[in-house]
């Protein structure tokens, strides 16, 4: 599950990895077609791993065509979201 918002010219994303409860993995937000990546350490929950707020600037991309992807990697788990378009607030 992913929650994404554009706030003050940046994309802010949080995520949950279902079915995995770990505190040693790394969550990353990649703004595709840009060099911008944000990473946080995952936090174990009840049957999920939480990825806290990851933030990347949208200053150097065309927001109308921008897409992002979230990945989670640990010693035993790899997961990634679908590529998702950035949706700016109206």
Flag whether 53 is in a domain.
yes
Written as six digits, the tokens of 55 are: 């933030």
Flag whether 65 is in a domain.
yes
> What would the pLDDT profile of 25-76 be if each residue is shown by its tens digit?
999 999 987 888 999 999 999 999 999 999 999 988 888 889 999 999 999 9
- Domain with residue 43: its CATH number is 2.60.40
CA distances from 58 to 9, 10, 43 (A): 6, 5, 26
How many domains, in total, are found in the chain? 1
pLDDT value of position 89: 60
Burial letters 50-83, b for 16+ CB under 10 A, else e:
bbeebebebeebeeeebebbbbbebeeeebebee
pLDDT value of position 7: 92
């Amino acid at each position: 599950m992913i929650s994404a918002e554009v706030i003050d010219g940046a994309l802010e994303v949080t995520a949950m990895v279902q079915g995995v409860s770990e505190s040693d993995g790394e969550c990353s937000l990649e703004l595709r077609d840009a060099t911008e990546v944000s990473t946080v350490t995952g936090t174990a929950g009840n049957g999920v791993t939480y990825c806290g707020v990851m933030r990347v600037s949208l200053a150097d991309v065309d927001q109308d065509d921008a897409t992002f992807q979230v990945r989670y990697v640990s010693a035993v788990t790899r997961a990634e979201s679908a590529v998702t378009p950035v949706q700016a607030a109206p």
